[in-house]
Amino acid sequence: MRHLSSVAALSFVALLAATAAQAQPSPTEHALLHELAAQVSPEREHATIARLVAFGTRHTLSDTKSPTRGIGAARRWVASEFQAMSKDCGGCLTIETPSEIVTGRRVPNPTEVMDVLAIQRGTSDPGRVIVISGHLDSRVNDVMNTTADAPGANDDGSGTAAVMEAARVLSKHRFAATLVFAVLSGEEQGLYGGHVLAGYATKQGWRVEADLNNDIVGNSEGINGVRETTRVRVFSEGTKTVETPAEADRRRYNGGEVDSPSRQLARFMDGLANTYFGNFKVTMVYRTDRFGRGGDQVEMLKAGFPSVRVTEANENYTRQHQDIRTEGGVHYGDVIEGVDFAYLANVTRLNVISMAALAAAPAPPTHVAISGALKADTTVKWQPAADAARYRVWWRATTDPQWRYSRLAPPSGQMLLKDVNIDDWFFGVSAIGADGWESPVVFPGAAGSWTHEEPPAAPAAPGTPVSRR
């Protein structure tokens, strides 16, 4: 390089950049997703949150009988809104209210925790389910205060509004997979609504492909005054909550610590934002949730369902879990004035197009496996499925955050990547439908599989290079 003039060096760098750019596969752009994004209305979301705030408190242990105040009135209103949407789509939504009687550290007396679900049945693969969730319940400083005004405009009126707006927009269309719009309760008392949802999904035998859990998604001004309207965080676990010790052993050795299905969902959403939004981006965070904090997606992950948490870029803690008051000139409380509806609408758009893209695409490929140790080439295999017309094999450097290279593959279920050495790259496969809709990428083996198809690992013989032994 030192023999090159600086101009030549510069053009060499430019050439490298251009080559890299060309290597980035161009995704198919679907007009439907632009259409759906345009239909999300910040005004409607404003009306939804104003209505939610008007219930005074939506504390999980608050009044359930009053027609005007408390969690009971609030969830009946949500159900009635879903009913009205269903009327507008020829009865396309089924409203279910699964519940459980719980007690716990923050629930001293047996209390019914009830979720409100609107279910839009898939046309060709109804057992495959895409969920969006948010929580209806709210709180103030004292988590046991069931009577004080707890507007919960942003935590989590914003997530609830996103779920309801997604239902309104998406219920006007039909998708291969089932969509579930989930308004949960009991989050602040210990993630009970997420637990109820996970239990219900398991009982129904749903193959939950994704839960997009929206919690605190409507504020654009951080506690330190920074105002940021152009990005949202998507948190995802790196390894599966339900990973077995044997699976962890193999994953630790061969890689896969940043390639769980939940992480691929985050990558999928990141890619959609890049394709469909001019100035609104996903910041992937390689964590299950914010540091030391939780959300309902955790209960879904425990049940083995790939899930992400969507949260605004900068939180304002004076507006979370606070009694409404002014102290030292600071206004505390989760009031509607703290919600930026243009921002919330963009977060909702990301959810809406993610759900549509997932539900329109084939299921993520199963039985993805790679081979090629001691060879110059890598073979990628997967199980062909009826809903896929073809596949795309992906690879990236082991240190890359996003899938970088790809090649279209036939429906046969196998592809040889000539001169791509298995040691140096991470691999994956996505499924593409006849109309060009593409699934998230699946990382090989148990670390990346959406389903539990992997046979239990055979115990490794001494010296076998598959575990740390």
What minimum distance in Å lies between the beta carbon of 338 and Zn ion?
14
Encode 167-190: b = buried (16+ Cβ within 10 Å), e = exposed: bbbbbebbbbbbbbbbbbbbbbbb
Q: Are 362 and 39 in contact (CB under 8 A)?
A: no
From CA 461, how far away is CA 469, in angstroms rounded?
Answer: 9
Binding status of residue 215 toward Zn ion by CB under 5 A: yes
Nearer to Zn ion, 139 or 231 (CB): 139
Short-list 230, 431, 224, 254, CA closest to 315: 224
Q: Are 337 and 242 in contact (CB under 8 A)?
A: no
From CA 367, how far away is CA 370, in angstroms rounded?
Answer: 10
What minimum distance in Å lies between the beta carbon of 139 and Zn ion?
9
What minimum distance in Å lies between the beta carbon of 85 and Zn ion?
24
Interacting residues of 279 by C-beta distance below 8 A, sequence separation 6+: 230
From residue 23, give the alpha-carbon distance in Å to each of 15, 282, 390, 407: 12, 22, 20, 10
What minimum distance in Å lies between the beta carbon of 443 and Zn ion?
30
Q: Are 188 and 60 in contact (CB under 8 A)?
A: yes
Q: Which stretch binds Zn ion (CB under 5 A): 148-156, 206-214, 236-244, 371-379?
A: 148-156
Binding status of residue 155 toward Zn ion by CB under 5 A: yes
From CA 438, how far away is CA 362, in angstroms rounded?
Answer: 7
Taking the CB of residue 419, how many other CB atoms lie within 10 A of it? 7
From CA 229, how far away is CA 218, in angstroms rounded?
Answer: 10
Q: Which stretch binds Zn ion (CB under 5 A): 47-55, 190-198, 213-221, 417-425?
A: 213-221
What minimum distance in Å lies between the beta carbon of 159 and Zn ion?
7
Nearer to Zn ion, 235 or 427 (CB): 235
Helices (H) and strands (E) in the chain, counts: 12, 18
Nearer to Zn ion, 155 or 454 (CB): 155
Q: Which stretch binds Zn ion (CB under 5 A): 93-101, 151-159, 273-281, 366-374?
A: 151-159
What minimum distance in Å lies between the beta carbon of 93 and Zn ion?
25
Q: Which stretch binds Zn ion (CB under 5 A): 51-59, 117-125, 167-175, 208-216?
A: 208-216
Nearer to Zn ion, 293 or 302 (CB): 293
Q: Which stretch binds Zn ion (CB under 5 A): 215-223, 242-250, 375-383, 447-455?
A: 215-223
Amino acid at 346: N
Of 63, 137, 156, 334, the one binding Zn ion by CB under 5 A: 156
Q: Which stretch binds Zn ion (CB under 5 A): 4-12, 207-215, 325-333, 349-357?
A: 207-215
What minimum distance in Å lies between the beta carbon of 138 and Zn ion?
8
Q: Are 164 and 244 in contact (CB under 8 A)?
A: no
Nearer to Zn ion, 156 or 247 (CB): 156
Nearer to Zn ion, 188 or 340 (CB): 188
What minimum distance in Å lies between the beta carbon of 310 and Zn ion?
12
Nearer to Zn ion, 215 or 270 (CB): 215
From CA 70, how far away is CA 62, in angstroms rounded?
Answer: 5
Nearer to Zn ion, 215 or 454 (CB): 215
Q: Which stretch binds Zn ion (CB under 5 A): 40-48, 153-161, 201-209, 377-385?
A: 153-161
Interacting residues of 8 by C-beta distance below 8 A, sequence separation 6+: none
Q: Which stretch binds Zn ion (CB under 5 A): 123-131, 211-219, 259-267, 376-384?
A: 211-219
Nearer to Zn ion, 153 or 353 (CB): 153
Nearer to Zn ion, 236 or 378 (CB): 236
What minimum distance in Å lies between the beta carbon of 293 and Zn ion?
9
Residues forming beta bridges with residue 118, ordered by sequence position = 95, 181
Using DSSP's 3-state secondary structure scheme, residue 353 falls into helix
What minimum distance in Å lies between the beta carbon of 156 and Zn ion?
4
From CA 129, how far away is CA 207, in angstroms rounded?
Answer: 6
What minimum distance in Å lies between the beta carbon of 236 and Zn ion?
17
The 160-199 contact track toward Zn ion, x by CB under 5 A, reads: ----------------------------------------
Burial class (CB in 10 A: 0-12, 13-18, 19+), 89: middle
Binding status of residue 45 toward Zn ion by CB under 5 A: no
Nearer to Zn ion, 252 or 287 (CB): 287
Using DSSP's 3-state secondary structure scheme, residue 87 falls into helix
Which residues lie near Zn ion (CB under 5 A)?
A: 155-156, 215
